[in-house]
Structure 1
Amino acid sequence: MAVLSTLVTSLPSLSNIVLYAFLSLVVYIVFDIVNQLFGPKDAKQPPVVFSWIPFMGNAVEFGINPIQFLQNCQKKYGDVFTFRMVGKKVTVLLGADGNQFVFNSKQNLSSAAEAYNDMTKYVFGREVVYDAPHSVFLEQKRFIKAGLNTECFRQHVPMIVDEVTDFFKDFKKPTGTFDAYHTFGSLIICTASRCLMGKEIRAGLDGNVAQLYYDLDQGFQPINFIFSNLPLPSYRRRDEACKKMAELYSSIIQRRKAENDNTNADLLQALMESTYKDGTPVPDKHIAGMMIAVLFGGQHTSATTTAWTLLELAARPDLIRALREEQIEKLGSLKTDLTFENLKELTLLENCVRETLRLHPPIFQMMRKVIAEKVTFEKTGHEIPKGNFLCAVPGVTQVDETYFKDPLKYNPMRWIDLDDPVHTMEAGDDADVDYGFGAVGISSKNPFLPFGAGRHRCIGETFGYLQIKTIIATMIRMFDIELEGKAVPKPDYTSMVVVPEKPANIKYTWRE
């Protein structure tokens, strides 16, 4: 007992432990600050943004308003700089040249898969998208793009019109308000499911499918990018939902095959009929993963773009009138059926969507992780070491007055008048490069890249425009709209896509 008593009394008190821990933390912070200010620096590497807190770095400033943070850094450091965020080093490359460098970086130098797969593989499933070898991933993109073809688009337009009409039947009052992002999030789940996911998924949205999607969505948040797998309920529900979605798609595929149900104009059918280059049919689990990836790649981005477009239009009654006049002039009347062909004639409508994507890109940054010992940005000579994340930021470049006049003004006419500096720039020669899923279609040196560029450019752009234009063209026939508040809401950067801050309400009045 005497020995035990001696051991106990010799142990430091709890208060001393806390004090030692606190002092150690203070010393660590001071050492980090001194090292940043006076430590050795590699002149070949980009300047590093100062931060007060080790490990966290600039995460708080970036998280509150990343665009403002990056613009402030640009003024101080130029177009190329590195900041620290939760143990990661992110090298930002702004401007048209920065876009080109990041988006056209070779596969043996930097990798999108290394940047994102730790998060996406738990939501999409294994062996698809970034969890597949790069050559297989490009084949999978080819399958998806083949399923997004003109003949399918022709069938999609009346489907979307039907979904919009049915959705707003629940708006019984002659006038009222709705939350823009929440409303279009719900609507676009319906339109995307009807057009792409298959009639079976659309029919299940009122039941378990919606819950599975919600559970997956909760596993696709900013925290999942930082911590990909934690022992938390939301992570467990994410994993279970991924498994159940794969089982659901497998059962749908087997039923379609058994019943010879092969006339469906949806992406699911296109994937079922696809084969890899070696002749192997696409496995059910790959189809399920690709379908989940397509839904996640398009639903949030289309919902937020539609919401922002309607909010901007609600603040501009002159544009609403002009859009109706355009339909009357180009289509003959506001009662003419919308089609894939006549939607192309609505150029003002397209430019309204394009201007929304410029001012409110749903994905404001794209990343790659350096896997070579270093990569060199030739324009400045900066060397970026292995392990750093390369970051292109269309959300900053697209509101840079170097490329756009009055960049913070919502002005769809800029895409018609062509007075902005961006229209006189010399673009790169990489727009016609084919990585295996068709020509990219736009140079990576373009300052306007809401869908990215290069080998990882989004292949859903045409469907995205088609879906949003059809929704808006239908809605302005049905409603008069105006903002409930005094101004278009500010952006909320706390989710994976940039949504409007609440309240983001639109006042509607049914038209005669």
Structure 2
Amino acid sequence: MFEFILPLSLVFLVLYILTVQFRRTRKHGEPPLIKGWIPFLGKALEFGRDAHTFLAAHEKNNGDVFTVLIAGKYITFIMNPLLYPYVIKHGKQLDFHEFSDQVAPVTFGYPHVSSGKFPGLPEQIQKSFRHLQGENLDCMTQSMMGNLMLVFRQDYLSGESEWRTESMYQLCISVMFEATFLTMYGKPSHTNRHSGMVTLRKDLVKFDNMFPLLIARVPIFLLRGTKAIRQKLINFFHPNKISSWSNTSVFIKERAAIFEQYDRLGDIDKAAHHFAILWASVGNTLPATFWAMYYLVIHPEALAVVREEINSVLKASGIKADPNKDLSLTREQLDRLLYLESSINESLRLSSASMNIRVAKEDFSLQLERERFIQVRKGDIISLYPQSMHMDPEIYENPEVYKFDRFFEDGKEKTDFYKNGQRLKHYLMPFGSGSTKCPGRYFAINEIKQFLTLLLIYFDVEVLEGQKPCIQDPRRAGLGILHPATDIQIRYRLRRD
């Protein structure tokens, strides 16, 4: 019997320590505090089940600012989008990089670059993202179009014009994953396509399924097989291997050159950085592409308008679609597809559940309005949760309904949305906010546009009858684009007109 006493006593000791450690009480000037009854976990389980409903209920009971204990972290949620600018512009005492610098290295398996071992490396990495924006984006956009044509032509555009069946999500990820990989990292020296792409994609999906747990800092050795999968993914990007690839993007070339300047970065460390960029390039873009396609396909009237817009732009540019020849659209031509962009933005509004976070670097008083302040403690997280804004009926009429032209008005992009009679500075936030906004957001929107353009030009697509509507999996709430809970079967064929 004695052999059970020690483990039981340790359990009680751990529970006691956790209870003491998280015996926090609300101080004067601090927001309402919601801790829950489970030490350390707090409200993590309820938040994980349905974050949007959970936060909406607490906003109703506690007002538009409140603090919640979630998995050992005290997170202060700012629910009113009119208050977002006060947080976004407040960079002195609030820092995003403290969180990312701690979590990303552990998740992707590379050393902490912000340590003194690598002086100047974080700054150089940050500068490399300029290749994903502005004029530098043109080359990436053209390359992506060619690679999408390559994959579509070889895997989907051949054969007779007969109906074929496919899983929609699988179609999206198989085409977009390989085309994005080729655009970012290039091609093998003697062929157009890499061998092992299917295996690489499946391994990335397995790793991505564990991503929420890794971000929550669950040790990777506790996640069965994940460490081996991660190592396999990292090994694919060994510097000796990628140096032999051709047509590599300037973005990846510059990052590789930067890494070579640091002798303390081993080859596996460099490979892990490249792997992290692959995940960043596709982790949210793949499900975003799925939802953009799904909502268009199940709304034929929207699909017809978008397809007509695409055909009009092609006709005005003197472009005739031919499945045997590359179709090229410039960034300016893509920018003219306003209905298409609105439909993508609407699908992002419905599927995005990202959490914009900042970490308090010190105890301080955070100003939210002219005469409104809240007290913040060092180490606490300040969070914006835009999904609550995206689903606010005061901002978006019938927010649960897909309206492909919601972001289109009077022949241009609609940007005027209001809360309490005040125009919102931030009304659609799938890519983060402020200086931490995703640097690849323009490339992501362009490649989704390109994928849908080619799909609608070359194919008729229908959802097979008798299937239930596709719903979102809430388990990735706070991490970006929600995944579909189940896939959906479609049929497609080459267009005859």
The answer to whether TM tops 0.5 is yes
- Map of 1:192 onto structure 2: 180
Distance 2:270 2:208 in 1: 19
Question: Could you tell me which of 475, 488, 495 is aligned with 1:504?
Answer: 488
Relative distance call for 1:18 and 1:242 in structure 2 (3 A) is closer
- Map of 2:231 onto structure 1: 240
Look at both structures and tell me which one has the larger radius of gyration over its CA atoms. 1
Query: By how many angstroms is 1:392 displaced?
Result: 1.4
- Map of 1:406 onto structure 2: 398
Code of the residue aligned with 2:31 in structure 1: it is: P
Classify the secondary structure of the residue corresponding to 1:381: strand
Question: Could you tell me which of 421, 432, 436 is aligned with 1:456?
Answer: 436
Query: By how many angstroms is 1:99 displaced?
Result: 3.1
Q: How does 1:2-151 map to 2 (within 5 A)?
A: 41-49=26-34, 51-106=36-91, 108-114=93-99, 117-123=102-108, 125-128=110-113, 136-146=121-131, 148-151=136-139
- Map of 1:335 onto structure 2: 321
- Map of 1:302 onto structure 2: 285
Residues 270-315 of structure 1, C-alpha deviations (whole Å, 9 max, x = no match) = 4346699xx9899785764443232211212111111111111122
- Map of 2:140 onto structure 1: 152
Distance 1:188 1:129 in 2: 32
Classify the secondary structure of the residue corresponding to 1:114: helix
Code of the residue aligned with 2:438 in structure 1: it is: C
> 4+ residue stretches of structure 1 with deviation over 6 A?
16-29, 129-135, 170-173, 279-284
1:118·1:228 contact (CA, 8 Å) conserved in 2?
no
- Map of 1:267 onto structure 2: 251
Classify the secondary structure of the residue corresponding to 2:407: helix
Distance 2:329 2:81 in 1: 36
- Map of 1:7 onto structure 2: none
Question: Could you tell me which of 480, 496, 499 is aligned with 2:460?
Answer: 480
1:143·1:271 contact (CA, 8 Å) conserved in 2?
yes
- Map of 2:378 onto structure 1: 386
Code of the residue aligned with 2:321 in structure 1: it is: K
Classify the secondary structure of the residue corresponding to 2:284: helix
Distance 1:211 1:446 in 2: 36
Classify the secondary structure of the residue corresponding to 2:283: helix
- Gaps of at least 5 residues in structure 1 are 1-10, 428-444
Query: By how many angstroms is 1:469 displaced?
Result: 0.8
Distance 1:107 1:171 in 2: 60
Distance 1:131 1:335 in 2: 54
Code of the residue aligned with 1:360 in structure 2: it is: S
Query: By how many angstroms is 1:67 displaced?
Result: 1.4
Tell me the number of residue pairs that the alignment of Structure 1 and Structure 2 aligns: 469
Relative distance call for 1:455 and 1:465 in structure 2 (3 A) is same
2:105·2:111 contact (CA, 8 Å) conserved in 1?
no
Query: By how many angstroms is 1:138 displaced?
Result: 4.0
Question: Could you tell me which of 239, 242, 248 is aligned with 1:252?
Answer: 242
Code of the residue aligned with 2:346 in structure 1: it is: E
Residues 35-93 of structure 1, C-alpha deviations (whole Å, 9 max, x = no match) = 99xx9532311112252433222112111111111122222222211112222222111
Code of the residue aligned with 2:458 in structure 1: it is: M
2:462·2:490 contact (CA, 8 Å) conserved in 1?
yes
Question: Could you tell me which of 162, 166, 169 is aligned with 1:181?
Answer: 169
Distance 2:254 2:149 in 1: 23
Residues 3-33 of structure 1, C-alpha deviations (whole Å, 9 max, x = no match) = xxxxxxxx7696x99999999999999x99x
Residues 324-383 of structure 1, C-alpha deviations (whole Å, 9 max, x = no match) = 21122222177273412422222111111111111211x521222222134524334111
2:141·2:447 contact (CA, 8 Å) conserved in 1?
no
Query: By how many angstroms is 1:242 displaced?
Result: 5.9
Code of the residue aligned with 2:395 in structure 1: it is: Y
Code of the residue aligned with 1:384 in structure 2: it is: V
Distance 2:54 2:333 in 1: 42
Please give the TM-score of this superposition, normalised by the length of structure 2.
0.80
Classify the secondary structure of the residue corresponding to 1:335: coil
Superposed CA RMSD? 4.0
Query: By how many angstroms is 1:511 displaced?
Result: 2.8
Relative distance call for 1:468 and 1:235 in structure 2 (3 A) is same
Code of the residue aligned with 2:239 in structure 1: it is: Y
- Map of 2:361 onto structure 1: 371
- Gaps of at least 5 residues in structure 2 are none
Relative distance call for 1:13 and 1:240 in structure 2 (3 A) is closer
Classify the secondary structure of the residue corresponding to 1:482: strand
Residue identity (%):
18
Residues 156-187 of structure 1, C-alpha deviations (whole Å, 9 max, x = no match) = 32222222333335898933443333332222
Relative distance call for 1:458 and 1:20 in structure 2 (3 A) is closer
